[in-house]
Amino acid sequence: MLPTDAKRPLQLNDNGQLRHFLSLDGLPCTLLTEILDTADSFLEVGSRAVKKVPLLRGKTVCNVFFENSTRTRTTFELAAQRLSADVITLNVSTSSASKGETLFDTLRNLEAMAADMFVVRHAESGAAHFMAEFVCPDVAIINGGDGRHAHPTQGMLDMLTIRRHKGDFKNLSVAIVGDILHSRVARSDMLALKTLGCPDIRVIGPKTLLPAGLEQYGVRVFHNLEEGLRDVDVIVTLRLQRERMQSGLLPSQGEFYRLYGLTSERLKVAKPDALVMHPGPINRGIEIESAVADGKQSVILNQVTYGIAVRMAVLSMTMSGQNAQRQLNQETRELN
């Protein structure tokens, strides 16, 4: 993982506004709160007869997905379209990258398309940071998920879900359950919760699926599900990242469900109004029982709705930050 001081100059312009959106690490509470407030203001756009605002009219957003995704890609497309941007989606996993082209060469070819913003999803950790370092100055990079490292817009839509249903973070207990080791969502959620002042962040899972160094996130670690869920306000159940697992980390999926699957019975040890969340796609009967996923405490579908608003917020704020930096650079050149 890149150190915080390497990320901060990349992500923020000289005025502290978003220039790229790569990770939640190093971003201040005020900026995360601004993203949530901006997303709140965009939620009503989805209920309009004409679901558009003109903030990115004339801009081009290019979704560059080196790794397959449906939910993230679709919500970014909808977010950009609702901001009136032109949208191009490239499934690079079936084109140039699979033919041996380097990430640097792919970036240069993408720049030739004259897009204003690239939303990048990649199987390798740090890919979005690499592109942000080498992309031309007028193009913004948004991380749509990179390897095991970060999924910052998912982290922020999870925070918006929690805030809209629970209000302030200051008195909450939040449990994150499952495959923490391979989950970029877990890392982004832990960083966001810590920054926003959540006093009790718990991670629950088998030792083989918990990474070293969890202490830096200010979390409490549990290996017993019932103990970890006791009296929590929010439960985030993670998908088993089978595509990133090496053999031997789990005896079987059935054994994982027996010990760590979120069932109706286990949900009873949490608070009666505890939220149930999941980043999707859900593996029913492996991570979560269908009765819980579809139950009255589940806000999983709300997360998808909020995800569009959060991605609208990030796209608009990042473009605004890029424009402000461009103006500042122009003024500096004129003074010199």
The per-residue pLDDT for 29 is 97
SS3 of 116, please? coil
Q: Any binding-site annotation on 73?
A: no
Q: Is residue 121 marked as binding?
A: yes
Cis peptide before 54 (omega within 30 of 0): no
pTM over the 0.75 mark: yes
Q: Which residues of 158-185 are buried (b: 16+ CB within 10 A; e: fewer)?
A: bbbbbbeebeebeebbbbbbbbbbbbbb
Q: What is the pLDDT of residue 5?
A: 38
Q: Is the N-terminal amide bond of 281 cis, ω within 30° of 0?
A: yes
230 labeled part of a ligand binding site = no
- Rounded to whole angstroms, the Cα distance separating 303 from 308 reads 9
- How do the pLDDT tens digits run along the chain, 336 residues long? 333 334 446 899 989 999 999 999 999 999 999 999 999 999 999 888 889 999 999 999 999 998 888 889 999 999 999 999 999 988 776 555 556 678 888 888 888 888 999 999 998 999 999 999 999 988 999 999 999 999 999 999 999 999 999 999 999 999 999 999 999 999 999 999 999 999 999 999 999 999 988 988 999 999 999 999 999 999 999 998 766 555 567 767 888 899 999 999 999 999 999 999 999 999 999 999 999 999 999 999 999 999 999 999 999 999 998 888 777 676 666 666
Q: Which residue has the tokens 């019932």?
A: 226
**According to the annotation, is 280 in a ligand binding site?**
yes
**Contact predicate 85/78, CB 8 Å:** no
17 annotated among ligand-binding-site residues: no
Q: DSSP code of 172?
A: -
239 is in an annotated binding site: yes
Task: Tally the residues of the chain.
Answer: 336
- Per-residue tokens: 235: 């439960």
Give the per-residue pLDDT at 90: 83
State how far the Cα of 203 lies from the Cα of 201, in Å rounded to an integer: 7
Residue 211 is labelled as binding a ligand: no
pLDDT of residue 134: 92
Give the CA distances from residue 20 to residues 4, 61, 233, 290, in Å, rounded to whole numbers and listed in that order.
14, 13, 32, 38
Is residue 184 a known part of a binding site? yes
- Angstrom distance (rounded) from CA 300 to CA 297: 9
Q: How many CB atoms lie within 10 A of CB 95?
A: 12
Q: Is 72 annotated as a binding residue?
A: yes
- Domains, in order of start, for the chain: 4-151+304-326 (3.40.50.1370), 152-301 (3.40.50.1370)
